[in-house]
Each structure stands twice: as C-alpha cells, then as structure tokens.
Structure 1
Amino acid sequence: MKTFTRSDVEIVSRESGFSGFYRLDILRLRHRLFDGSWGPELQRELFVRHDAVCVLPYDPWEDSVVLIEQVRIGALDKSERPWMIELVAGLIDKDESPETVAHREAQEEAGIELVSLAPITRYFPSPGGSDELVYLYYGLVDSRGAGGIHGLAEEGEDIRVSVWSREEALAAVENGLIDNAATIIALQWLGLHADRLRREAGERP
C-alpha cells in the first residue's frame, strides 16, 4: 500500500485572506490520487493558529482530577451551556516549549503546581481546515485545596476551578456534560491508565 508524504502535495499559491490574532490563508493546491496520478487544482481556506497545550491535572492519591470551567464563544450558537468543563490549556507563543506552557497555565488558570508532567499524545483537532496541533499532557498534582476563581484579569478570564473524582469526570463524559475533544480524550486515557498511575505514585510524599 502506497504511503503518501508532503512531497505528494503541490502548493500552487498561498495568499493571506485575513490576519489578526488568528490568520486565514487561501491556498491553491493539488495532490496525488490513490491511483498515482495528480488530482485537479483545489482552493482551500486554512485557519492558521498557534499550537496548543492541554493538561489533565490528576491526583493519584485522591483519585481525582482538577478541571476548569469558562465560557467559550464557539459553543454560543450550538449549546445551551457555553460554559465548558475543560482541561487546563494555553497557546504556545514563540520560543516557548509545550512543557513551559503547561506549567504556566496550570498556575494561571487553576492556581495549582504540577509536580510532574508526562505526554499523553499529540493530535490535530480539525485538520480539514486548521493547522493547529495539540500537545496533550498528564500532570501529577496535589488536588487538596484546589478550587475557586482564577485566570488573568487583563485577559478577561473568569475561570472556575473544581475537583472531580475520576468516577464523576468519566460519568460526565458518558452523559455529555463534558463535550470538548481534549477533555474527552484525556479522561478516556485516564480511565485506561489510572490504576497504573496510582501504583507508580506510591505513598503521598
């Protein structure tokens, strides 16, 4: 079976359609078809974003997760509840590592310190029209005392932090209360790996 690579796509032209905090590029391109020939020239719009970091803060000693809640404009037209229950997350600025972003956002958005950090996966959330790549992490935390309202006032953030048992969080995925991709992926991963994480954590320091 043939495996295609970046060399099997020809970018004919690329123009800027909009440039602000985000960017929209207009591309004309063609790519090889599965029969080996070249397909027709296509026009596609590409939403150009910073890559993102998402962190699942998990306390293996309490078997609990720290989740945040804030309003999301993308859900306004399609949900009666645009305040989404999410992971700690942030965008990667220039010259920042994903790990640096993870630690910073944990403090800014949730008021917690990550004891350690380990990758879960990387994925493209919407590759049909966006180039965003998400770095998904598991962060070891002490959830005792976590909670309250956090976020940066100068960025208009109003973020509620709460601690959920693993069972409660997985039930919220099952019943649709949690309905965003990063949080669903991370919690399903936790459902598979929590027993191992709890064994590896040992006694609370």
Structure 2
Amino acid sequence: MTTTAPRTTASRVARDHVTAALPTMEALRGEADRLAVWGVDLADRMLAGARLLAGGNGGSAAEAQHLTAELVGRFDGDRRAFSAICLHGDTSALTAIGNDYGFEEVFARQVTAHGAPGDVLVLLSTSGTSRNLLRAAETAHGRGMTVWALTGAGPNPLADAADDAVTLPGRGANVQEAHLVAIHAFCRVFDARVRDRIGASR
C-alpha cells in the first residue's frame, strides 16, 4: 500500500482521528506558560528533597507512569535521579487496598503512606470525575501537598479539587495524546531548570 492509494473507510477514520487531535493540541499550546511554571516549581522542590506522586486510571495510568519514569530516569540528558512514584505501579499494594478499603481508596491510601508536606501530586484524567483521584487530591491537601491535574474539558471536579489544572477540550483519546505532549514539555522545562540550578551552584 502506498500513500497515493485511494481513500478507504479505514483511511478516513485515521484521518478524522488525527484531525480531531488538532484543536486539542492548539488548546495545549495555550497552556505552555502554565506547564513552564510547573516544571520550574517542581525542579526547585525536588532539588530541595521533595517527591512527586502521580496517578490515573487506564490510559491515564500509563501517562502517569511515563511521567515518573522520566523523573527517576532521565529526559534531556544525564542528571541525578529524582524520587517519583506512580501510584498504580505496585500491583500488590493496589489490589490489597482495593480489596480491603475499596477502589476509591487505592490512591489515597498510598498518598497517606508516601506523601509529605511540600510534595507534589499529579493526577491525570480525561473525564475529571474519577472518585479515586478525587479522594487522592483530598488526601494530598490534608498532608500539605500541592495537587496539579491534567484533565479533559473543564470545569470538572478534579480540576476544581486541584491547586492548578490544565483542562483540554476534545475526545478522550485525543486528550490523552495531548497529555503526553504536556508531560514532555513539563519534563523539558524541569530538566532545563535542574541544569541551570546545578550550574549556578558550582
């Protein structure tokens, strides 16, 4: 099959999906300054010893794990590792908490265990209505943490529960795709800030 093949129903579906992502990505471009503030703030906190926790459900769980991997590993070149925990990553804890306390508590219980004042909790949701994420945000605030949310269109309960939020219009799949771009932009700012701070301290 070549790129000059006649458009089929399948090719139209693919084109429609890509086209639908464009308004969502345009809305994300308008949030670049907010993501820059988050990246700088998180770098300053983590250089001082803070930790990041992240959570989501389904595809958003994968995005949350992508974020923590970039911080524990590396993004824009070699640097020190930072403490970041994805709250669905420990399946034994997740299933034990769900079994003993209910699915609404699977993230909140871990926030209680791992979170401390000054830490950051990042929550991702296309709907912005997931009860387990709302409980996590509530618990984080009770522990003196800062909560940032990446969600679909606002207003929504999770964006309202967060200290700050990026809310994006569009279908769920397109919002998740934009969330990955947001994470990468956020991490790029984070790494640049770390390099600037470390260079300035030498």
- TM-score of Structure 1 vs Structure 2, range by shorter chain: under 0.3
| Higher normalized strand content (fraction of residues) | 1
| Higher normalized helix content (fraction of residues) | 2
TM-score (norm 1): 0.25
**Structure with higher RCO (Cα < 8 A, 6+ apart):** 2
* Bigger-Rg structure (1/2): 1
